[in-house]
Amino acid sequence: MPDWSYHPLKKLLLDKISPKTSREFIHKSMSTIASIPGGRHIIGFLGHIKPPLEFQKEMNHMKFPSPIGLSGHIDPNLSGVNAFQELGFGFVEIGPIVLNEPKEQREPKKSESHILFSNYQEKVPLKLAIKKLTKLNIQIPILARIDEQIKRNELDIIVQHLTPFVDGFIGTNGQINSCQEDNLIGLERPFYVSLSTEEIHNKEFKMEEIIQPTCIGGIVVNAPRQTEGSYWYEATNANMCLTKTVKQVKDLYPELRLITSGGVETPEDAYALFRAGADLLMLTDGYVKAGPGLPKRIHERLLYEEVQPIKNQNWFWSFLFGLSILIGGIVALYFAFTSIILPYDETFIGLTRAEILQVNPLILSFMSHDRMALAGTMISGGILYIQLARHGIKHGMHWAKVAFHSAAIVGFLGILLFIGFGYFDWLHGLFWLFLLPIYYFSFKEGKSVKETPYSSHGKNDKAWRYGLYGQLMFIMLGFLIVVGGIVISTIGVSTVFVSTDLSFLCMTPGMLDSINENLIPVIAHDRAGFGSALVSVGLLVLMLSLWGFRKGERWIWNTLAIGALPAFIAGIGTHIYVGYTTFIHLLPVYFLVVLYLLGLVFSYPFLKKK
């Protein structure tokens, strides 16, 4: 559930139901998707959120794909653990673990600005934890937090039974001393001491005594809390206080491994903690407020500080590929406005342009409307390819390369749709052969394109929230264009016409066949080719919108604004030009135009303003 779907859904639905119900709905949904065949790839496609290789680190014999983890407060029932590794997290905390089901557990509540966690918070029985962990395919470290109030004999049982399933434990200093005495924990399962900022600042606190045992892997510093009756929430200044504490501890004990829990709502909060010296951090209720995209945004913010000037990649052939499609679209538009059909069309049909006009002039008008729409779509596609080459591939952006080549390959495969009715357009075939070597060199020059995007944007401001709605509009636009293209291609290789087409022509398919049996195949090939072009352009819009939205990326806004215009102008203008203005036929296009305009308006402050 990416941010662009999470926040609209949160406002419309999730905020109106209980925190536990909304939490379980989201976690179970994500976990179900991650569990089905190909589900992990779907999550990756929607978010492109795999942690950059730069953030992999090894600590206490554990390999963390990312320094960002998730606190057990967010998923006490372990409903979403299967999906969290696909959302950019490098590790997950589970717990607090207890031996048996507690007699009293209270769900979290919500106030106007906080999530309230109960002092009798939800806890995870040992059997449930083991049952969940044995079923899950987890490839990131798991840290088990031991409940503070369990008894000595229960602690021994929990540690013994969980050791094969987890990579480390989090507990109090007293619990660690107990385990040390019983020889339950060795270096293979490090124990992290959980401390509050108040404990660390206490004058009687002695860090040397805490970190002395050999089994200690480090400490976990929890963000300061405020109480409200029998509930608590993170203090307003949690990040500032936590950052100050981390810096003080690290200045005194630079080799000490330090994990923070809480105090992060924005990428800037996370950057402050890492700059102060935190080795790892766990997100708590800030993750709920900011949305599932927070780990990805933190990665991009951290990467911004480390990025080196990128040497421009080769992009000539990719640019030439887009330019060729743009020019091809302009040429197709010229023919659609003038002769409409070409000599080889006339040869295949067995009728000249003049003879078709004598039979029914609306036939040529209908063919013109399909060919104009195809030309406009090609021009839009050419602009999108050129922009991806100039601003994405040139600067080494891996996501731009994936978008470029995915759409191009789908576009090439569209030529096979002629099989539906058996008419092969030779000009189309020659253009395909002309593009093929250009695309080959484009694909070859893109092999070195591997850079991860970065961003200086670190706030959850109003522009960002509006940008999410703009992103949602464009994602819907791209998805619906793809669906529309598939539908039109399917019609093109099957029934060819819809009812409004026949009403415009004032003829039935049988009547057209009686004129000439090759007339419908020519019309069908135009329709199928137009549908194929729509699929390709829809994929470009979809992937640009999914992966390209970042604060100040002006070229994304410009690309979507300018790139979509030729297709819309051709799509609506051609119908007006030939007089085919049936409202129900053009309704899908009108709806797409509304999405396009809303997307531009909502995303303008986020993408265009520096």
| pLDDT tens readout for residues 232-283 | 888 888 999 999 999 999 999 999 999 999 999 999 999 999 999 999 999 9
Asked whether residue 62 is assigned to any structural domain, the reply reads yes
Tracing tokens 């490839």 back to the chain, one arrives at 139
DSSP code of residue 322: H
pLDDT computed for residue 187 by the predictor: 47
Same domain, 76 and 21: yes
User: Can you say how many angstroms the Cα of residue 588 is from the centroid of all Cα atoms in its chain?
Assistant: 26
Same domain, 226 and 362: no
Range of the domain at 410: 316-447+460-607
pLDDT computed for residue 560 by the predictor: 96
What the block records as the tokens of 343 is 């000599």
The CATH code of the domain that includes 202 is: 3.20.20.70
Question: Which of the listed residues 288, 306, 324 is the one where a domain comes to its end?
Answer: 306
- pTM, 2 dp: 0.90
Confidence of residue 609 (pLDDT cuts 50, 70, 90): confident
H-helix or E-strand spanning residue 232: strand 231-234
Tracing tokens 């090759």 back to the chain, one arrives at 518
Question: Which of the listed residues 257, 277, 306 is the one where a domain comes to its end?
Answer: 306
Q: Please provide the average confidence, as pLDDT, over all residues in the chain.
A: 89
Residue pair 365/575 in contact (Cβ under 8 Å)? The answer is no
Confidence of residue 186 (pLDDT cuts 50, 70, 90): very low
User: Can you say how many angstroms the Cα of residue 283 is from the centroid of all Cα atoms in its chain?
Assistant: 19
pLDDT of residue 185 exceeding 60, the answer is no
47 Cβ neighbours under 8 A, 6+ residues apart: 2, 87, 88, 292, 293, 296, 546
What the block records as the tokens of 201 is 């600042």
Residue pair 419/470 in contact (Cβ under 8 Å)? The answer is no
Residue 538: name the closest of 564, 557, 514 by CA. 564
Same domain, 279 and 323: no
Asked whether residue 455 is assigned to any structural domain, the reply reads no
Asked whether residue 452 is assigned to any structural domain, the reply reads no
Question: Which of the listed residues 262, 284, 306 is the one where a domain comes to its end?
Answer: 306
Same domain, 285 and 326: no
**Separation CA 469–CA 236 (nearest Å):** 27
Same domain, 212 and 248: yes
Residue 501: name the closest of 477, 530, 537 by CA. 530
Same domain, 261 and 323: no
Residue 78: name the closest of 23, 119, 16 by CA. 23
Residue pair 297/265 in contact (Cβ under 8 Å)? The answer is no
pLDDT computed for residue 469 by the predictor: 94
Same domain, 295 and 358: no
Confidence of residue 309 (pLDDT cuts 50, 70, 90): low
Query: Once rounded to an integer, what is the mean pLDDT over residues 328-356?
Result: 89
Same domain, 217 and 353: no
pLDDT computed for residue 91 by the predictor: 94
Three-class SS state of 216: strand
| pLDDT tens readout for residues 501-556 | 999 999 999 999 899 888 999 998 888 889 999 999 999 999 999 999 999 999 99
Asked whether residue 454 is assigned to any structural domain, the reply reads no
SS3 of 404-444: HHHHHHHHHHHHHHHHHCCCCCHHHHHHHHHHHHHHHHHHH
Amino acid at 30: M
Other C-beta atoms closer than 10 Å to the C-beta of 119 total 10
**Percentage of the residues of the chain whose pLDDT score is greater than 90:** 50
pLDDT of residue 171 exceeding 60, the answer is yes
| pLDDT tens readout for residues 438-452 | 999 999 998 888 888
Same domain, 157 and 33: yes
Tell me if the bond preceding 96 is cis, omega within 30° of 0.
yes
**Separation CA 34–CA 86 (nearest Å):** 8
pLDDT computed for residue 308 by the predictor: 63
Give the pairing type, strands 216-222 and 68-70.
unpaired
Does residue 45 or residue 48 have the better pLDDT?
45
pLDDT computed for residue 385 by the predictor: 97
For residue 107, CA distances in Å to 15, 20, 92, 118, 119 come to: 15, 6, 21, 7, 10
Confidence of residue 80 (pLDDT cuts 50, 70, 90): confident
Same domain, 562 and 543: yes
Three-class SS state of 607: helix
Asked whether residue 71 is assigned to any structural domain, the reply reads yes
Asked whether residue 248 is assigned to any structural domain, the reply reads yes
Asked whether residue 331 is assigned to any structural domain, the reply reads yes
Confidence of residue 71 (pLDDT cuts 50, 70, 90): very high
Residue pair 258/44 in contact (Cβ under 8 Å)? The answer is no
Same domain, 293 and 322: no
Does residue 77 or residue 213 have the better pLDDT?
77
pLDDT of residue 460 exceeding 70, the answer is yes
pLDDT computed for residue 322 by the predictor: 96
pLDDT of residue 184 exceeding 60, the answer is no
Domains: count for the chain: 2
Same domain, 240 and 323: no
Asked whether residue 311 is assigned to any structural domain, the reply reads no
| pLDDT tens readout for residues 389-441 | 999 999 989 999 999 999 999 999 888 877 667 787 888 888 989 999 999 99
